[in-house]
Amino acid sequence: MTYPLGWSVITQTVVRRERWPGGQRVKAIPLVQPGQEVLPDQPVLRFARELQQEALQSAARLSLPSAGTGTNVKEMPSGASNAAETIPAGLHGQVVSITPRGGVVIESRAAVVQGTLGAGNQVAGILTIWPGPGRMQHPIPAAAILVVPGPLNFTLLRQAASSGVAGIVASSISLRDLEGFLRTDLIQLIDTENAEQAQMRLPPFTLLLTEGLGGAAMPARILNLLSQYQGAIVLLSGATSTRQRIFPELIISLPINETQDWHPLQADPSPTLGALVRVCSGEQEGTTGTIDYLFAYEQTFKSGIRARAVRLRLEDNSLLVVPLTLIERIG
Amino acid sequence: MSTQPHSEEEQGRRNSSPANQATSLLVADCGAVFTKVSLFGLVEGQYRLMARGEAPTTTTPPHEDITVGIIQAINVIEFITGRHFVEDKRIISPEQSTGDGVDVFIATISAGGPLQLAVMGSVSPALENLASQSISGLYAQAQTVPSPTFVAAITPAAVPVGAGPTGAGVAWTPERIALEWERQSGRIRELHPHAALIVGMADAPAGPTPLQEACQLLINAARERNEQRNGSSQDSAAQCSVIYAGAPQYVEAVRRMLNGVADVTRVDPLISQAQLGPISMAVGALYERNVIQHIPGYERLHSWSGSAPVATATSLSSLVRFLAQHYAMNVTAVDIGGATTTVMLAGEQGEFIPMVNTEVGVASNVGPVLQKVGWRRIARWLPFDTSEEEIRQFVLNRIRHPHALPTSPRELQISHAFAREAIALTLEEAKKNSMDWPDSDLILATGGILAHAPKYGQVAMTLLDALQPRGVTSMVLDKTMLVSQLGAVATVAPITAVQVNENDAVTHRLGTCVVPFGNVEPGQLAVRVGVEYSNGRQLTVDVMGGTIEVIPLRLNEQALLTLFPAPTVDVGLGPGERARAAEEIDGGLVGLIIDARGRPLVLPSDETERQARLLQWSQALGI
């Protein structure tokens, strides 16, 4: 099961996350206390001064430019004197605890998009939809979290990284391009026992892929959700470790008006009739559909393997029979 | 040869009485990737497998409860049988008059990962090897962390130790020893072991000091952990487990030093193979306590059963040894799972060589297979062109989706290529522990990738390629994936285990296999095979070097076999020596296989020729 929260997208849930920009050798000074309400652009951490340089080298572009409450973060110069010293919350919610290393744990009512693959430390930034080459009407804000609806490539990644973007949410990329950009062996990276340490060796850039490797486009339901919150300050983490069961995620704290009369969604991962699912492996990887029929007996597949199976009705109304273990529920 | 403990047998004795009268049993085997549940019941006075179900193991989020996967697998059995076994997340027990419920529930577990064991003290290469042998039959990984003064004592001062911080190649000054302390402390931090095994005698090169230093390293690590966790060095909640197998006169001193830091279990000092059994038992107990009991949902699982869940490898080893003694033959068992690959050899004289390789598997641990052997060793088993990128994509997909089944023939062949290498790697490890690896009379194969293989020939070919047996052997596939559960069943219901084993577990006989070895020349006659069927029909087949032939001999057919090897070729009795079976051999689902490809098996270096050979061999086995 790829998605620890059950589905790939959960529009209403309660999350608790430690705000920690990555790196293990630094000690941070929390600027808030348990019980305190924080806003997404509110600084919640400051690095100890003697370790600051080391921290920032290992996790560059990890924070928004420092901003006070109500300040338009887009207007703050990225090189402001105290820009690198503090780390914004990235979430709207309540501080519930401080970890021994100084990380701030925040509880927030949020929408969560979970990726299948990613890389890079936790960063906060302004969610910005990329309309395509040459179509951007405004300059990309510094430390933006850029949403690229289509597949990425090496050149696009390089351009984004050099333009000051903090992170990218995209659908997919080829293995070769991703490894070329990260300059690492992806198998070793995601098969690691220590995801946080592994991220320290990567370029200072955070990436979340909703579909994974290949050339698949971003599903409309994810793009629609992200478009809805364009301009919001969000929290993105790219770290992926199959051994530690860590997967990339984008957390969008819900605006106050959306949290009134609010109930968290319980994501039921069981494959029931009518459930929206995604094929997670094989020739049909990335295909989505609804469960149309649950076979009572094992079915035989092209390889000759027999397995319990489901029939999916795809978006174009065609039918597809896949093994039960090849699907993961997404809604 | 080492002898492994029967720790589960002791448990069994504690719980033996009611299960012997049981008319129905549910047995769950919780693997790292899949959970298999089998229902055993009485049919015409014999215990039989009545139904089985399978579902993904659910120890990780979003479920994070091992019993969820078990219940899902039981639901499959409920569907098949129309009976109910679960109510309000509890097993209905005993069996009701309606047929619902079961009398006994038993679980075996390989989920949860291995026990990480730090071997500390005066860890000489000999002791390191013994420590490794002692855990070879368990889900455990040993890492050596020798004490700084021991390293100083055995490393000549003028010789560089390596590229690390100690590799200065200078005298062992206090500063260099301090650096070694730092290095070993870093190792402990990095390994974060569940337990430590302290070894070394007082007459070791550095005397008893390394024992004291091992304790000090553990104390320092505990202090660091507690400080990180609570910001206080006073907290001693996180206790480590230590097995002390060092100089006996210092055991009390070690206990005093580790008081409040670690619980110390004393075993006989590790100096020879005689101590492997007790150490193995102690490590096995720690695995149950520090790994199995921490699996999410363990408490509920334990509440379902009268006995504690048993490690699957321990259960399998019991059955393999039983089969070897019962049938008076050398039995090699292969169990290939998603995270672990096991190869065990049990001999008719009581020999036992287990190797549980917790580093390689065909799903979540397929990455380390690629890392160890490289993509070309995987690609060599594929009868089509491939690329490093395709193999790496496959691995990335498998480690992210360990439950995925190969739906295309290409994926299936890549999966089987990885299975071959995982088995071969494990066999290599096993042979390191034993100078003498006897030829097997019976190869027993289990594990999802083999049990689910669409064709029996695919299983036979995988085993022949990976194990490369010699002489005459039989191959049996445990298609129902029962054998690794039956050892645990035998501890509480021995009659059930024996009857299910014979009736259902080892019934998929692939066939007898003849593997001539020695100087087998490609294209030259390797062996002439004379077959005299039970009905009197006779057949003679010449098998050429570099080929595989299958002679028809179906399941339930028998034949007398005579082998006439070429002068330089051996079939087990020496080069050129004719062999005639004293008893009829049994047929199988594949037939009588003559594998004259030579040993060691060498694949053609030319790509086109290699692919052509693989296709020929596959066709011969009906793949």
Q: Model confidence over B51-104: pLDDT tens digits?
A: 999 999 999 888 899 999 999 999 999 999 999 999 999 999 999 999 999 999
Domain residue limits at A197: 9-258
Q: Output A26 or B287, whichever has higher pLDDT.
A: B287
Best of A191, A197, A330 to substitute, by most chain B Cβ atoms within 10 angstroms, is A191
Is the ipTM reported for this complex over the cut 0.90? no
Closest Cα partner for B210 from B145, B150, B257?
Answer: B150
Whole-number Å distance between alpha carbons of A146 and A129? 6
Residue range B429-439: average pLDDT?
A: 84
Mark whether A106 and A241 lie in a shared domain.
Answer: yes
Mark whether A252 and A292 lie in a shared domain.
Answer: no
Q: Which of B364, B371, B454 sits opposite A304 (nearest CB)?
A: B454
Whether the bond between B552 and the residue before it is cis, its omega within 30 degrees of 0, is: no
In a domain, B397, yes or no: no
Domain with residue A300: its CATH number is: 2.30.30
Q: Among B46, B76, B109, where does a domain finish?
A: B109
Residue A62 tokens read as 């990890």
A64 DSSP assignment: P
B622 class by beta-carbon count within 10 Å (0-12 exposed, 13-18 middle, 19+ buried): middle
Whole-number Å distance between alpha carbons of B597 and A151? 48
Q: Among A258, A293, A310, where does a domain finish?
A: A258
- Residue type for B129, please? N
Q: Among B109, B128, B151, where does a domain finish?
A: B109
**A319-323 and A327-329 strand pairing:** unpaired
* pLDDT value at residue B392: 96
Mark whether A148 and A95 lie in a shared domain.
Answer: yes
* pLDDT value at residue B7: 43
Q: What does the mean pLDDT of chain B come to?
A: 90
In a domain, A2, yes or no: no
The verdict on a CB contact (< 8 Å) between A301 and B62 is: no
In a domain, B493, yes or no: no
Domain with residue B281: its CATH number is: 3.40.50.2300
Mark whether B159 and B275 lie in a shared domain.
Answer: yes
The verdict on a CB contact (< 8 Å) between B405 and A269 is: no
In a domain, A314, yes or no: yes
Q: Is residue B530 predicted with pLDDT exceeding 50?
A: yes
Q: Among A228, A258, A288, where does a domain finish?
A: A258
- Interface of chain B against chain A, CB under 8 Å? 54, 56, 60-63, 76, 79, 227-231, 364, 367-368, 370-371, 389, 392-393, 395-397, 399-401, 403-409, 411-412, 452-455
Rg (alpha carbons) of chain B, rounded to whole number: 26
CB B416 within 8 A of CB B456: no
* pLDDT value at residue B306: 81
Q: Among A258, A284, A318, where does a domain finish?
A: A258
pLDDT digits (tens, 9 = 90+) for B555-604: 989 999 999 999 999 998 999 999 998 889 999 999 999 999 999 999 99
Mark whether A230 and A322 lie in a shared domain.
Answer: no
Angle separating helix axes B7-14 and B312-326, nearest 10 degrees: 90
In a domain, B99, yes or no: yes
Rg (alpha carbons) of chain A, rounded to whole number: 20
Mark whether B126 and B246 lie in a shared domain.
Answer: yes
> Cα A14 to the chain's mean position, in Å?
16
Q: Say whether B562 sits in a helix, a strand or coil.
A: strand
CB atoms within 10 A of CB A19: 26
Helix (H) or strand (E) holding B80: helix B66-81
Residue range B9-33: average pLDDT?
A: 70
CB B149 within 8 A of CB B213: yes
In a domain, B405, yes or no: no
In a domain, A202, yes or no: yes
Mark whether A306 and A208 lie in a shared domain.
Answer: no
Q: Among B65, B94, B109, where does a domain finish?
A: B109
Closest Cα partner for B120 from B243, B32, B299, B23?
Answer: B243
Regarding pTM above 0.80, the answer is yes
Q: Chain B closest CA to A187's CA: distance in Å?
A: 6
* pLDDT value at residue B348: 86
Q: Chain A closest CA to B488's CA: distance in Å?
A: 27
pLDDT digits (tens, 9 = 90+) for B151-196: 988 887 655 544 444 444 567 888 888 899 999 999 998 888 999 9
Q: CA angle, B198 as apex, B267 and B121 as ends, to 5°?
A: 145
Q: Is residue B2 predicted with pLDDT exceeding 60?
A: no
Mark whether A250 and A280 lie in a shared domain.
Answer: no
Mark whether A222 and A293 lie in a shared domain.
Answer: no
Mark whether B47 and B71 lie in a shared domain.
Answer: yes
Whole-number Å distance between alpha carbons of B337 and B422? 10
Q: Output A119 or A130, whichever has higher pLDDT.
A: A119
In a domain, B423, yes or no: no
Cβ of A326 under 8 Å from any chain B Cβ?
Answer: yes
Mark whether B248 and B124 lie in a shared domain.
Answer: yes
In a domain, A3, yes or no: no
Q: What is the tally of structural domains in chain A?
A: 2
Q: Which of A1, A175, A325 sits opposite B392 (nearest CB)?
A: A175
Mark whether A196 and A234 lie in a shared domain.
Answer: yes
Closest Cα partner for A169 from A234, A78, A108?
Answer: A234
**The tokens 């071997």 sit on which residue?**
B119
In a domain, A270, yes or no: no
Q: Chain B closest CA to A254's CA: distance in Å?
A: 22
Range ranked top by mean pLDDT from A37-41, A96-100, B434-438: A37-41
Mark whether B609 and B522 lie in a shared domain.
Answer: yes
What 3 state SS string does B469-491 have? CCEEEEEEECCCCCHHHHHHHHH
Mark whether A96 and A244 lie in a shared domain.
Answer: yes
A218 DSSP assignment: P
Residue range A305-325: average pLDDT?
A: 95
Mark whether B77 and B136 lie in a shared domain.
Answer: no
Whole-number Å distance between alpha carbons of B190 and B225? 12
> Cα B158 to the chain's mean position, in Å?
42
Whole-number Å distance between alpha carbons of A97 and A106? 7
Mark whether B595 and B560 lie in a shared domain.
Answer: yes
Q: Which of B61, B76, B455 sits opposite A245 (nearest CB)?
A: B61
Q: Chain A closest CA to B260's CA: distance in Å?
A: 22
Of chain A, the end-to-end C-alpha distance in Å amounts to: 14
In a domain, B418, yes or no: no
Chain B residues with CB-CB distance to A117 below 8 A: 400
CB A68 within 8 A of CB A147: no
Mark whether B140 and B213 lie in a shared domain.
Answer: yes
Mark whether B144 and B275 lie in a shared domain.
Answer: yes
Taking CA–CA distances from B34, the nearest residue in chain A reads: A325
Residue A308 tokens read as 């319990």
Closest Cα partner for B215 from B188, B190, B183?
Answer: B188
Residues near B600 by beta carbon (within 8 Å), at least 6 away in sequence: B468
CB B522 within 8 A of CB B575: no
Mark whether B138 and B221 lie in a shared domain.
Answer: yes
Q: Is residue B228 predicted with pLDDT exceeding 80?
A: no
Mark whether B54 and B120 lie in a shared domain.
Answer: no
In a domain, A268, yes or no: no
Contacts by residues B519-525 (CB-CB < 8 Å, ≥ 24 positions apart): B519/B568, B519/B569, B519/B575, B520/B545, B520/B546, B520/B566, B520/B568, B520/B569, B520/B596, B520/B597, B520/B598, B520/B599, B521/B545, B521/B566, B521/B568, B522/B546, B522/B598, B524/B566, B525/B566
Q: Which of B227, B400, B452 sits opposite A2 (nearest CB)?
A: B400
- Residue type for A73, please? V
In a domain, B131, yes or no: yes
Mark whether B171 and B267 lie in a shared domain.
Answer: yes
**A117-119 and A288-294 strand pairing:** unpaired
Q: What is the tally of structural domains in chain B?
A: 3
Helix (H) or strand (E) holding B325: helix B312-326
Residue range B200-215: average pLDDT?
A: 91
Domain with residue B20: its CATH number is: 3.10.20.370
Q: Is residue A237 predicted with pLDDT exceeding 70?
A: yes
pLDDT digits (tens, 9 = 90+) for A16-73: 999 988 765 567 889 999 999 999 999 999 876 544 444 444 443 434 433 333 333 3
Mark whether A254 and A280 lie in a shared domain.
Answer: no
A265 class by beta-carbon count within 10 Å (0-12 exposed, 13-18 middle, 19+ buried): middle
Mark whether A47 and A87 lie in a shared domain.
Answer: yes
Mark whether A195 and A294 lie in a shared domain.
Answer: no
* pLDDT value at residue A275: 93
Q: Chain B closest CA to A242's CA: distance in Å?
A: 6
Q: Is residue B199 predicted with pLDDT exceeding 60?
A: yes
In a domain, A263, yes or no: no
Confidence at B39, pLDDT banded by 50, 70, 90: very high
Domain residue limits at B580: 511-623
Closest Cα partner for A242 from B54, B363, B188?
Answer: B363
Taking CA–CA distances from A297, the nearest residue in chain B reads: B80
